Amino acid sequence: MKKILLIVFFNLGIAALSIQSFSHEKISDWIQKPFQISAEEKRLKDWILYEKFILNMEIPKLEPFPQGNISKNYLDQMLLTIVKNTPKVIESNNNNIKILNSINFISPEFKEIKALEIEALSIQNQLMQVNIVDYYRQHKTTQSYLQEPVLKVSAKLQYLLQQSAIQNLNYLKVLSFKKDRRLKHIDPNQLHDWIYYLEFHHQQNPRDPTWDTRKILQEMSSRTTYDDQLLLKTYQSQNFKTVHYQKIQKLNILAVQSNLSLFSDFSKPQNIQQAAVQLKKLNQVLETNEFKDGMEITKKIGELEQQAHQEMIQKLENSFI
């Protein structure tokens, strides 16, 4: 009996020594491991929070610009409108910075995105304060200023956002394929169309991490009718499953067809005389009902895109956060 007790105590002693050999950190990690969030989950949660911020960010109520022909009186009225609106923009930017500071992002990507967003808003406020508000107070006019400091920060910001969005959309596709329980309350067809449409948008508008004014102007001026024809074929070949995105598809087709009809005769001017002729022709096009109808189509597309995106972000927030 004593021998058995000795063996039991001996084994208990070995067990105790074995437990003590683990560091406190290892034991803590072992306990917490089932509750740790993967990098993909962190990025997805942060992306949902950021998209919610963008959808709900404060937009200032600005006074409309005056209507009429360009004249000295018109320009004076426009100047006063800009001066009145600028403090409202600055105030909204400051409020959005406060909101951003209150959001606790957990992924490295969105901690950097948050810092860049705040930096861009702060630089924009500083430029407007110095060149519009303060300058007008002293000289009763404003001075022009370069937007490059803001655009450089925004370019990197938009590039990181796009890369994150693409990764998150791919991750959501994996979760959908695995029939993740958190997606059970979301219509799979709606999720499919939303993911596909966003991916298509990113493919059509790839972001560059560095701002290059000359390169961007060259790309804009090099766009041809052939590019619109290819885009039209792409829109026509899309296969959406929901009525909402089928409606967006039809409107996108109408918008591209409108552009082809209105601007098919335009080409890159080779000299000043050609540029003057095309400018006159452009002003005539802008006055047509067809152009105004095209603008209404574009506006409707934006509204439908916003509605679908807002609804999906809300559902993802309910599922993942």
User: Which pLDDT score is estimated for 191?
Assistant: 98
CA–CA separation, 151 vs 210, rounded Å? 9
Amino acid identity for residue 261 in this structure: S
Residue with tokens 């918008």: 255
> Which stretch of 42-51, 76-85, 247-256, 295-304 has the lowest confidence by average pLDDT?
76-85
User: Which pLDDT score is estimated for 275?
Assistant: 67
User: Which pLDDT score is estimated for 6?
Assistant: 37
Terminal Cα-to-Cα distance of the chain (whole angstroms):
59
User: Which pLDDT score is estimated for 207?
Assistant: 95
Amino acid identity for residue 92 in this structure: S
What is the CB neighbour count within 10 angstroms for residue 4? Answer: 8
* Closest CA relative to residue 95, chosen from 64, 150, 43, 57: 57
Strand residues in the chain grouped as ranges (E): none
pLDDT grade for 203, boundaries at 50, 70 and 90: very high
CA–CA separation, 152 vs 213, rounded Å? 10
More confident: 286 or 127:
127
Helix (H) or strand (E) holding 253: helix 243-263
- Provide mean pLDDT across the span 298-305: 97
3-class DSSP string for 54-93: HHHCCCCCCCCCCCCCCCHHHHHHHHHHHHHHHHHHHHHH
CA–CA separation, 118 vs 114, rounded Å? 6
Domain parsing of the chain, residue ranges: 38-178, 211-321
pLDDT at residue 229 greater than cutoff 90: yes
Q: Quick one: 243 exposed, middle or buried, by C-beta within 10 A (0-12, 13-18, 19+)? A: exposed
